[in-house]
Structure formats: C-alpha cells, structure tokens
Amino acid sequence: MSEPNPEITDALVAEHGLNAEEYARVLEILGRTPNLVELGIFSVMWSEHCSYKSSKKWLKTLPTDAPQVIQGPGENAGVIDIGDGQAAVFKMESHNHPSFIEPYQGAATGVGGILRDVFTMGARPVANLNALRFGDPGHPKTRHLVSGVVAGIGGYGNCVGVPTVAGEVNFHPAYNGNILVNAMTVGVAEADRIFYAKAHGAGNPVVYVGSKTGRDGIHGATMASASFDEDSAEKRPTVQVGDPFTEKLLIEACLELMATDAVVGIQDMGAAGLTSSSFEMASKGGSGVALNLDHVPVREDGMSAYEIMLSESQERMLMVLKPGREAEAKAIFDKWDLDFAIVGELTDSGRMVIQKGGEQVCDLPIDPLAEAAPEYDRPWESTPAQPDLTADQVPAHDPAQALQTLIACPDLCSRRWVWEQYDHMVGADTVQRPGGDAGMVRVHGTDKALAVTVDCTPRYVLADPVQGGRQAVAEAYRNITATGAQPLAITDNMNFGNPEKPRVMGQFVGACQGMGEACRALGTPVVSGNVSLYNETGETAILPTPAIGGVGLLDDLSKMATVAFKADDEAIVLIGETHGHLGQSLYLRELCGREDGPPPPVDLEAERRNGDFVRELIRGGWVTACHDLSDGGLLVALAEMAMAGDRGAAIQPPEQAAPHAWLFGEDQARYLVTAPQAGDILQAAQAAGVAAYALGRTGGPALKLAGGPSISLQRVRAAHEGWLPSFMSAAG
Amino acid sequence: MQAAVIVFPGSNCDRDIAVALERASGQRPHMVWHKDSTVPEVDLIALPGGFSYGDYLRCGAIAAHSPVMRDVKARAQKGTAVLGICNGFQVLIESGLLPGGLLRNESLKYICKDVGLEVETHDSIFTRRYRNGQRVVFPIAHGDGNYFIDEDGRRRLEDEERIAFRYCDAMGQVTPEANPNGSVANIAGIYNRERNVLGMMPHPERLADPLLGGRDGAAMFDGLVEALA
C-alpha cells in the first residue's frame, strides 16, 4: 500500500500545530516542501511538549551541578550518587491532559511512561510517587476524576510491583477544567552501569522491543501542547491504553539485557513515540539512522508510515546494540515473550531516512530537528505584590473549632482512601509508608534508605511566584530532613497555563527564579524535569504549580525519624521562628473564606540552618519524633503527630502571641520534635543560632491548650479520616 | 530447609518471599521459571504474589496452566509443602489444589493495608510457631481476595479444621467490620485436606522484618524451617 500523499496546505500545517514562522523554518531546513510523514515529524518534535520552546530559556537558569550529580537534565532521567557505587535515578512527568479526558488510562500510562524513563537508564524502579490536583470537590466531574486517576495509578503501579510510597493531593476550583497528574519514579542502579540515550557506531543495529505499535495516541504530544476547548472530550482516541503486565516483562527483560554489555544506547518510546526516540538518540550520538518500517511489529494491518512514526502505543523501547549481539538479545526477549525486531541501522549520514513498502517515505536532517528546535523568549510580566496582611486583620476563631475544620478540609484530611489503593509495600523495603513527611525505601540489601517526597503550594506561587517557587523546594527539603535524611537533588514538574499570556509566562519566570535560589541555597540541584503548559480551559488557567520531587539519603536506617509521638510525657520543642503569618494560609481560606495576602516569605538561610540543625539532632539520637510544619501551621502538625502516635499533648503558646496567628500561621523553616527533655535541645539550638521554643509535653487523650480548650484526639481523628471516604462514597 | 520459588511472568513478590525464606533458613531458594517442566528436589515450594499474566482472564487462571504447575501439583500430592500467597493462593485455587474461589473485593477496590488475623489452628507446619487463637498482623494487598465457598464447602473446611486464618479486629474478634474484602466467614487462608498446602491472601513475608513495621510473619518461616529442616 502506498503512503497517503496529500497536498501540504496552510490548513494542514496549522492542524499540525506549526505556526507560519515555524513552517517557514521547515521549508528553509529542507529546501523543499515536506511530505505528510515529514510534516508530522516536525509537528511533534517542535511541539511544546517535546521541544520546551517556551520554557528552555528559563530552565537553563536552574542549577544542575553538584558533586553528587552524575547526570543532570537532558537524559531520560537524572542520576545522583548515593554512595557505595550506587546511584539513584529519578524524574517526574505530567500526564495532565490525557488524565482529564480518560482518567484511568491517562493516569495509568503516566505511571508507565515515567517508569520507562527510569529503567531505560539501567535502574530498577524502587518507588513511585505522584502529585495530583483536582478541581473543586463540589464540581460535578471531580469525584469521577479522583476515582479514575487513583484507580489508574494503582492499577498500573500495583501490577508492575513498584511501591507507591508518597504523594500529594490538592483540590482547587482552578483545576476544574485541567487536573494535574504528575508521576515520579525513583530507581536504583550501579553508578558505573548507567545507560544513556545515545546512538553511535555506523552499522550498529537499531532494535525495537516491547509491545506492538497500534494507532493509539497519535498526536498525543501535540494535544499536550494546546489549551482545552469544548471538543477536547472528542480527543479520547489520542489517549493511550496501558498494559502494566507488558511493562513488568519489559522491565525484567531490559534489566536482564543490560546486565550484559550488548547495549550501546537505549531510549523509551514516550511522547511522539518512534519519532522522538529515534531522533533524540541519533542526535545525542551524532549519528544518522536508516529505518525500515516494514519490520516494526504492528497491531493492525494497513498502518501508514505517518501512523507508525507518530503512534504513542505504550510499553515500547528502542535500542542500539553492539554488532553481532542480536541473537543473545533476542533470546532474552523471547524468554519474556516480548516482540524483538531489528528495524534499522545507524549510519554516518546525519539524516533520518525511512523506508516503507520499498518506498522512501522520509529523508530529514537530524540535528536541525532535534537540537535546533525553535526557542522563544516569550513576553512576561511579574505578578503584582499582594498587600500585607496582619493578624489583627484576620478574625480569631476558637482554636478547637478551627483545628476541627482545618484537619477535615479537602487539602489537609487524611489521604488514606487514596494510598490504601496503592501497593505501597511491595518489594519489602518500604520503611516509611505514606502519611508521614516523606516516603522511605530501603536500598535493597543495605542499611541505607532513600527519602522521597513531592511538594508544591500552588496558592503561594499564584500570590508570589518567586516566594512560591522557593517554598516548593524548601518544603521538599524539610520533608526529607524530618526523616533524618540528607536532601540531595530534585526533579521538577512545571505545570502552568498558556505561556503566550504574559501574566502566565511571568509566573513561570518567577517560579524558576525562586526555585533556582532555593536549590542553590539548600544544595539540591535540579537533575531532571518536565514542563506542562497550556493547562487552561477557556480563559481559566490552573494555579501555577511547579511540583518538586525531592530525593534524599539516610545512610544509617537505625537513625530514621518518624512523625508519630513515641511515648507519654516527652518534651515537644518547636524549631524555627514563628511570626504568625496568615497571608495565603489555609486558616484564611477555610475559616475566613479568603485567599489573599502575601504567602509566607522563605528565608533560605534559616531553612538551611534549621534543616542542618534538625538533621544533626536526629542523627545524634536526640529526638524521638520529628515533623515539618507546612499547610495549616503548628496546631495541625501537632495533631498529625498525635494521631500518628495515638497520644495527645498539652501545649503552652507564648502569652504575647495572638493565638490564631501563632497556632495556624504558616511561617516557613519550622519543625516540631519530641525528646525526653527539652533542655539539651534548647541549649544546642542556642549554640547553633536556631530559634527553639519548649512548647509542651506529650500524653493524654486530647490536645490541651494552656488556658484554652481541650480537643479530643478521637474527634480530631474522626474528622481527619472522615472527609475523603465520605466525599468519595457520596452519590452523584 | 531448601525452598523453591516459582516465578511466573508478572510475579512481583518473588524476591520478597525469597528474602524472607533465606532470612529464616540461611539457604537461598531456587528461583524456578514457569516454563520449566520440573521443580528441583525441595522441602517447600512457594508461589509468590503478583499479577501473573497480568491477571488476564481471571487471577491465577493462566498461571495454573504453566508448564511448571504440572510438577507442582504432583509434588503437592506427594506431600511436599506448598505455600501460595496472594496471587499464589489464586493460582492454587485455579489449579484445583485448594477449594473455593477468589472474587473481586466487595468494595471493588484494590486494598493495601495491615490487617488483624486470628490463627485458627497451630496444627500445621506453617503455623506451629503460633498459638491457637493468637492475633497476628500481616498486610494485605489485593483487588481479588474475596474468598467464596458454598455452605457445604465452608462446613467441611471448618469440620476438618482447614481454615488457617480469619480476619479479625484489634481485639481479636472475627467481625464483619474486620473483614476487608467480603470473604465468606472472614476466611483469609485455608489448607488442603492433607495440610501440606496453604493458600492465603495476606503477606507474611511483608512483616517479617522489624524495620518494615513488625515481624509477626517471621514465625511462619521459622516454623517451616523447624518442621522441614
């Protein structure tokens, strides 16, 4: 069957998401009109999703270097040194648009895609995380989306046997039309056995392994690069369908093959499928490629070259082998009952030449496509500063009532309903399960563990992108620190609206600035990331959401700290300064119905100092429990520690403080710790120049405020555990 | 004790059970590929948790027809100890080594959490280190663990003391509220008539190490080593 060969009209070019300027560049590069296959390839390679054309300029400003970094951004995933010749490999990626259209498959294939990014590099995946944002709980679609996304994440992760150990879930009306599903995978590899997406060596065979290619997901990358409109639901056929069983086989087969030395380079087929995997590998290795599509395993007859090149069928990998190793590699894939096909070879032409049915259907220069993609300096404007908000401008509610409301609100209630649907223990190395500050996974066969977390407070970023960007990085740092682990590096998932709007672009620019400052100050460089723009429906953009995935290392598991109170009558000490900052707090939103004021400022020096101090306390065996303070402030954190340890506390706020601001303000750089006695900790804090305050003692069945109310732990727990299950089981 | 762990395509707790067995016995189990036609001479055969064949068709249904299962069945009939956990339990049922069926959880959701179990009888090589009526905590992690058997079958299991574990609450009471998946009579694990085959949904291998939050599961493996050494 010969290829469809329509005339390349302006309308067809526009349908492919290329603007006039970009198309002029295509003509200039080729010196002729492209055919349909070539146009399709330009379209996906230059989509926002694949080319980062709006974001690149600002991403480049983020710090990516540190002694522990083995591989920074630009590969399938980032790689950091975790000692003993081992490396942690990780990345986070969005699957927002597909998950809104088809929540189960969208979320499931999001997990599948990020897993492949990690095992492609030779790492065995050891932990999954996710950051989810949904619309208003009252919105008619929200329940359906939560249910489908959670089931999809579980359906995929549970089957492949990678524990899902941490995550975050938020609700806000700004996500009504654009939910966010960000999935992160962390893997462990031998540091000297990392595999890269570089294809070199003319004559080396190019091999396709995994599932067969079908018509699913064609133009998924282009869809991910446009705003939603009324017809988005009709895009359902561009959502891929996942098969976690095949993925599990693919993990085992690839790792088995990688244990030999037969692989030159390897890359998963993610967004833009065979097109981007072959172009990226060839470009990074400075090679040319000759592909014969007749050898690509296909699911159905009559697929055109256009469809094969742009399909986003899941669970597929492309690799370049050393010559003569084909039979050995094929035997491994045969053992796992996976397709294995030699689909081409490397050349030294610097061009991608594709044959199908005896015809040449594509001849493109590789570098101009992969590396010389357009890059824009989009106009941007900074977000105006919010006027200050002092405690006396905010009504003081009864603290007991306020806690009861906050602890049950959609953004603070227990996520048990979610994580009990995820297998968070498979692998028998999960040493901290979901519900604490960070998930922790023991490095198999050792006494060390990785602490992993995902964090972002989008309402802070909206109010002040720079402070919000700082805060997201700082919170990830604190969550890792609170386990005793040393934060090592981050991955970012930048979810924003339409970058062609200067206000939105300004949010992106500001967030990058804040993140960069925090990464430098806290010693956690960015080693991988993903950008998802155009998260808008009509004129409504999402809250700017730069989700941060953090990874830290605890080199001695016996020192690990958890949030739970451990014993009665222990001292509770608050580390860090409390000013009672209520701007953008959950107290303000949930109790007063307001979302205003500036977000809490992030003093990066204090973050570093307090974090170092807390880690020292934990490692020295001084504290029995530790929890970072974030959403909801001090009383919420205290309640979380009490619920986890099933014992209450009696606390004494300072007399001069306004109780509502002191108890619910969201000042940064703070932790709560417990210890048999406060004295040594207060003394050490003073010596280290760290603010510390003896808050009270553990014990009893309630949270008691000196001179104030006593709040039954049982009631707090009922409110905390109750909201999500009752929301999800409600009719409608 | 020498053990063999059967590895099906999609098994994902094969390493976990191997680690727990090696920890108890000091001997590394043989990992036996499902396409092999025989299992080496061993004291215990373990069928691990996971999603063999992606749970396609019915959980455990395709794995039950793997080449290796013919030998597993023959060994079981000759008296070799066989332990099937989670997906392994589903495979044992689909192979006809154990009676009943495992249906979708009543909630229709996958559930992963610690559950209380009442040890119904310590009269087996698997539970000899526990006391009758002892409450232990093991995790469950499954979407299809809702054990079903008809009334006659249930009575037979009870009469022959073949119920290994029942789901119970924090006080050790076997109540409907403590039943996580809708299983008949809170049944979490059962023996064959000869008591050398145990199938169970909960995962003792996931709580056999204090760093993971408990070690109630370790007594099962220690008991097996003692009985089969």
Least confident of A246-250, A366-370, A523-527, B21-25: A366-370
Phi, psi of A650 (to 5 degrees): -120, 125
Q: Which of A128, A149, A153, A159 to mutate to test the interface with B (most CBs of B within 10 A)?
A: A159
B51–A158 CB contact, under 8 Å: yes
Tokens (6 digits) for B54: 């992606």
Cα dist. A719→A143, A408, A414, A477, A641 in Å? 19, 5, 9, 29, 15
Residue A258: alpha-carbon gap to chain centroid: 26
B51–A246 CB contact, under 8 Å: no
Give the angle B197-B201-B206 at the CA atoms, nearest 5°.
100
How big is chain B by its Cα radius of gyration, in Å?
16
Q: Stretch B43-58: mean pLDDT, rounded?
A: 95
How does pLDDT run across A328-354, given as a tens digit for each residue?
A: 999 999 999 999 999 999 999 999 999
Cα dist. A70→A65, A81, A286, A525 in Å? 9, 6, 22, 11
How does pLDDT run across A4-51, given as a tens digit for each residue?
A: 788 999 999 999 999 999 999 999 999 999 999 999 999 989 988 888
Do residues A543 and A174 make contact, with C-beta atoms less than 8 angstroms apart?
yes
CB-nearest to A245 from B35, B54, B113 is B54
Give the angle A276-A278-A281 at the CA atoms, nearest 5°.
100
Nearest to A113 by CA among A207, A193, A191, A220: A220
- Element (H or E) spanning A695, and its range? strand A692-698
Amino acid at B227: A
| DSSP symbol at A18 | -
At residue A330, the pLDDT reads 97
At residue A5, the pLDDT reads 83
Give the angle B218-B222-B225 at the CA atoms, nearest 5°.
145
Identify the three-state secondary structure at position B12: coil
Tokens 């009490």 locate to: A642
Is A429 annotated in some ligand binding site? no
Give the angle A153-A156-A161 at the CA atoms, nearest 5°.
115
At residue A656, the pLDDT reads 86
Nearest to A403 by CA among A137, A705, A627: A705
Is A139 annotated in some ligand binding site? no
CB-nearest to B54 from A159, A420, A430 is A159
CB-nearest to A425 from B50, B54, B139 is B139
- Element (H or E) spanning A575, and its range? strand A571-575
Provide the residue count of chain B: 229
B141–A158 CB contact, under 8 Å: yes
Q: How far apart are CA A84 and CA A339, in angstroms?
A: 36
A245–B51 CB contact, under 8 Å: yes
Q: How far apart are CA A710 and CA A693, in angstroms?
A: 21
Nearest to A437 by CA among A563, A534, A537, A330: A563
Identify the three-state secondary structure at position A436: coil
At residue A621, the pLDDT reads 97
Chain A residue closest in CA terms to B54: A245
Least confident of A262-276, A374-388, B67-81, B209-223: A262-276
Nearest to A666 by CA among A438, A467, A420: A467
Is A229 annotated in some ligand binding site? no
The sign one gets for the Cα dihedral A118, A120, A122, A125 is positive
How does pLDDT run across B202-224, given as a tens digit for each residue?
A: 999 999 999 999 999 999 999 99
The sign one gets for the Cα dihedral A315, A318, A322, A323 is positive
Structural domains in chain A, sorted by start: 196-371 (3.90.650.10), 561-732 (3.90.650.10)
B13–A151 CB contact, under 8 Å: no
Q: Stretch A535-549: mean pLDDT, rounded?
A: 96
B205–A428 CB contact, under 8 Å: yes
CB-nearest to A420 from B113, B205, B213 is B113
Cβ-Cβ contacts under 8 Å for A491 (sequence gap 6 or more): A77, A78, A90, A91, A92, A184, A526, A527, A528, A529, A548, A549, A551
Q: How far apart are CA A469 and CA A58, in angstroms?
A: 13
Phi, psi of A494 (to 5 degrees): -90, 100
Q: Stretch A311-318: mean pLDDT, rounded?
A: 93
Gap from A702 CA to chain B (nearest CA, Å): 22
How does pLDDT run across A192-209, given as a tens digit for each residue?
A: 999 999 989 999 999 999
Tokens (6 digits) for A361: 């259907």
How does pLDDT run across B133-163, given as a tens digit for each residue?
A: 999 999 999 999 999 999 999 999 999 999 9
At residue A19, the pLDDT reads 92
> Would strands B81-85 and B197-200 be described as parallel, antiparallel, or unpaired?
parallel
- Is the pLDDT confidence value at A732 over 60? no
Is A492 annotated in some ligand binding site? yes
Chain A residue closest in CA terms to B33: A335
Domain B3-228 adopts which CATH fold?
Answer: Rossmann fold (3.40.50)
Q: At what angle do helices A103-119 and A142-160 cross, to 10 degrees?
A: 40
- Element (H or E) spanning B76, and its range? helix B67-78
E strands present in A76-138 = 78-81, 86-94, 124-134
Do residues B224 and B127 make contact, with C-beta atoms less than 8 angstroms apart?
no
Gap from A555 CA to chain B (nearest CA, Å): 15
Cβ-Cβ contacts under 8 Å for A251 (sequence gap 6 or more): A115, A119, A124, A125, A160
Cβ-Cβ contacts under 8 Å for A392 (sequence gap 6 or more): A658
Following DSSP, what letter does each residue of A236-293 receive, concatenated? Answer: GGGS----HHHHHHHHHHHHHHHTTT-EEEEEE--TTHHHHHHHHHHHHHT-EEEEEG
Which residues of B are catalytically annotated? 86, 203, 205
Q: How far apart are CA A172 and CA A500, in angstroms?
A: 23
Identify the three-state secondary structure at position A419: helix
Q: Which residues of A touch B (CB under 8 A)?
A: 151, 154-155, 158-161, 243-246, 248-249, 335-337, 419-431, 433, 442, 557
Chain B residue closest in CA terms to A164: B112
How does pLDDT run across A650-671, given as a tens digit for each residue?
A: 999 998 889 999 999 999 999 9
CB-nearest to A421 from B15, B109, B203 is B109
Q: How far apart are CA B123 and CA B131, in angstroms?
A: 9
Residue A410: alpha-carbon gap to chain centroid: 21
Q: Which of B17, B66, B108, B110 to mutate to test the interface with A (most CBs of A within 10 A)?
A: B110
- Is the pLDDT confidence value at B30 over 60? yes
Q: Specify burial of residue A569 (Cβ count, 10 A radius: 0-12, 13-18, 19+).
A: exposed
Strands ordered across the beta sheet of A571-575? A625-628, A671-675, A571-575, A692-698, A649-651, A702-705, A710-712
A425–B12 CB contact, under 8 Å: no
Neighboring chain A residues of B16 at a CB cutoff of 8 Å: 426-428
At residue A362, the pLDDT reads 96
The sign one gets for the Cα dihedral A548, A525, A433, A89 is positive
Q: How far apart are CA A424 and CA B111, in angstroms?
A: 10
Q: How far apart are CA A33 and CA A7, in angstroms?
A: 10
At residue A370, the pLDDT reads 74
A423–B203 CB contact, under 8 Å: no
Gap from A255 CA to chain B (nearest CA, Å): 15
Do residues A429 and A126 make contact, with C-beta atoms less than 8 angstroms apart?
yes
How does pLDDT run across B165-186, given as a tens digit for each residue?
A: 999 999 999 999 999 999 999 9
Q: Specify burial of residue A502 (Cβ count, 10 A radius: 0-12, 13-18, 19+).
A: middle
How does pLDDT run across A210-233, given as a tens digit for each residue?
A: 999 998 877 665 655 666 665 555
Q: What is the mean pLDDT of chain A?
A: 94
Any bridge partners for residue A440, and if so which? Answer: A432, A451
Chain B residue closest in CA terms to A424: B112
| Residue scoring higher pLDDT (A51 or A107) | A107
Is A312 annotated in some ligand binding site? yes
A426–B12 CB contact, under 8 Å: yes
Phi, psi of A67 (to 5 degrees): -60, -30
At residue A235, the pLDDT reads 54
Amino acid at A580: G
Please report, rounded to a whole number, the percentage of residues in chain A having pLDDT higher than 70: 97
